[in-house]
Amino acid sequence: MKFRAGEIAQYLHGEVVGDYEVTVSTISKIEEGTAGSLAFLANPKYEHYLYDSDASIILVNRDFTPRNPYKATLIKVDDAYQAFASLLQLYAKTRSGMKTGIEQPSFMDESVVAGEELYFGAFAYAGKNVKIGKRVKIYPQAFIGENVTVGDDTIIYSGAHIYDDTRIGARCIIHSGAVIGSDGFGFAPQADGSYQKVPQVGTVILEDDVEIGANTTIDCGTMGSTIIRQGVKLDNLIQVAHNCDIGEHTVMAALTGLAGSTRVGRFCRLAGQVGLAGHLSVGDHVTIGAQSGVAKDTASDQVILGSPAMEYRQAIRMYSVLRNLPQLRQEVIDLQKEVKKLREIISKNRE
């Protein structure tokens, strides 16, 4: 499908600088642009690519002023990155072809209730009393356990596993290999040193507009629910333990792990490989740097870093000292030698 510059500008509320009629049918990076493709420029360090790019249309920020001649038609928008993201969503929907229908072989229990425009891929499974909303896409080999609810416009990709009693809201995306509702890590130590499994009888609730990355696992509550609230985005390879509660519009990067009953507030940002101990609370609008280990409650509106995690400026000061430790060590050794010499001189003078 082809789109004209004028149509794209109208969709994005942008301004065309160049040919209104030029068309594009694909997208590209600005440095890899070809005729018929659309790219964007948001980061100034990539500006030099604009002047040689073969892309037919390039999105730029409204305040951008070119310094050299260029070939492309520009569309000026308030935020080029956000505008490009909007077009990517439109492009992805167009490319997917809006699949519908039930492929065979697949299994759907006779008690399943599904809304209109369902896509149910080959070898997918839906158990008893499952309720599926409108325009849901469930790709091949996905597993949907009993009593699961799936909201409108949700996508569940191939190989995802949704355990019994899970509730999934509208417009969620669950990527391949994700496991939602697996048992929490609950074991009671016994007198002989062995461990007895504590049955995990709770559920998982995913509110609207949640995205779960590939091979991420979310454990059910021991009792009650593990809750992923509206707008949360979890990257690939994340572990969320039983009875955690992740606040609205929080984002977490890959390899982050949350121990049981941890609560994370709204609009938080966790970088890669962050670890949170169990039964602690993180406030709203908290940013946690990569590879940080959080072992105590954290108040709202903070930036923390390190292991154990501490306030960002304090952590930077500490790392500055650590970086100079070899030099400081040598200075201490030299001072010890000087003190020894002075002691020897004083001792001789006393004699």
Residues with a known catalytic role: 242
Go through the chain and tell me how many residues it has. 351
CA proximity to 142, closest of 157, 131, 127, 163: 157
Distance CA 249, CA 228 (A): 10
CB 102 within 8 A of CB 137: no
The single-letter code of the amino acid at 64 is F
Distance of alpha carbon 41 from alpha carbon 58, whole angstroms = 7
Angle of helix 5-12 relative to helix 80-96, nearest 10 degrees, comes to 110
Cβ atoms of 144 and 161 closer than 8 Å: no
- The three-class DSSP label of residue 342 is helix
- Note every long-range contact of 144-153, with CB atoms under 8 Å and residues 24 or more positions apart, other chains counting: 145/181, 151/208, 152/115
Q: Are 38 and 11 in contact (CB under 8 A)?
A: no
Instruction: Give φ, ψ of 137 to 5 degrees.
Output: -115, 120
Residue 2 backbone dihedrals phi, psi, to 5 degrees: -105, 145
Beta bridge partners of 212: 174, 234
d(CA 235, CA 211): 8
Phi then psi dihedrals of residue 336, to 5 deg: -60, -40
Task: Say what angle helices 312-323 and 325-350 make with each other, to 10 degrees.
Answer: 60
